[in-house]
Amino acid sequence: MLERRRSFLAAATAALLLAGPAGTAGIRHVSEYDISLGILPIAKASFASEFGGRDYRISGSFRSWGLAELITKISAETTVSGRKRGDRLEAERYNLVYKTGKRTRVYDVTYRNGNVTQSVMKPEPKTRPDNWVPVTEADLRSVLDPLSGLIFAGDSKVCPSRLPIYDGESRMDLVLTPKGRKPFSTDGFEGEAIVCEIQYVPKSGFRRGRSDIEHLKKTPMEIWFAKAQSVNVYAPVYARIPTSMGDVYVKAAKYGG
């Protein structure tokens, strides 16, 4: 049950946990998001990002909201720290503390030069089922964390891109293809957003044949990136994520400040 709820959280907040633009020295960027299943509000999230020289740190929080809390209370606290190398953010440590009801699971990942050197999950998972696709050593090379993985320097290509993501349990590719531009406005931003289609490609660390994963594989997501001028990066401001229960929408209620 914990795995299934975590999977729904991952689908519902995929754009969120990959959001949160980093700033330059002395600048703190804050983003707040509303999440809904169709027209029903189900969660809220916020991210704060800071740079100190070439070092960066992103911290975020998520909590269920509205009708979703009648089913179960879900919350998450997450951080990533690392350094900017070229036009990418390269993580050194990623942490996620995920709570559902009275259960807590912690994911802690250490990276070096884009490779995972340590990955700890507490409590350790029970015996995996026969249809589990294990993560291999090769899967942990040249990967991105799920927080800073979808942040792009202001002068780099946003889509097309193929992003290899490791989140502490699962390894996936996110394949971005361009779909043009659309106007977007919210508190702190008004202008154009770059629209990308995202194809989810699971690689390892999942149960083969799971209905929610199969649905996500077949139905592309859509994500919009806006440029935060003061910090010269692109980060997500809107996303549509298909689930078996309907489309989940993620929208920035605040972008900057």
* Residue among 87, 41, 92, 34 at smallest CA distance from 62: 34
What size, in residues, is the chain?
A: 257
CB atoms within 10 A of CB 58: 27
> Helices (DSSP H) in the chain: which residue ranges?
2-12, 68-71, 211-218
* Domain 2-255 bears CATH identifier 3.30.1490: no
Q: State the number of CA atoms in the 13 A half-sphere of 54 facing the CB.
A: 9
**Do residues 199 and 175 lie in contact, with contact meaning Cβ atoms separated by under 8 Å?**
yes
Segments in the chain below pLDDT 50: 1-25
Is 257:28 a contact under the CB 8 Å cutoff? no
Cα(42)–Cα(70) distance, integer angstroms: 10
Backbone angles phi, psi at 59, to 5 degrees: -130, 145
Is the Cβ–Cβ distance between 121 and 128 less than 8 Å? no
Note the pTM of the prediction, 2 decimals.
0.86
Is the separation of the CB atoms in 257 and 228 below 8 Å? no
Helix (H, G, I), strand (E, B) or coil at 31: strand
Measured CA angle at 92 (ends 86, 94), to 5 deg = 120
Task: Please state, as a whole number, how many other Cβ atoms lie within 10 Å of the Cβ of residue 129.
Answer: 9
Q: What is the distance between the terminal CA atoms of the chain, rounded to a whole angstrom? A: 38
Residue type, 116: V
Which pLDDT belongs to residue 50? 83
pLDDT for the residue 29: 78
Q: Which amino acid is at 220?
A: P
pLDDT the model gives residue 67: 64
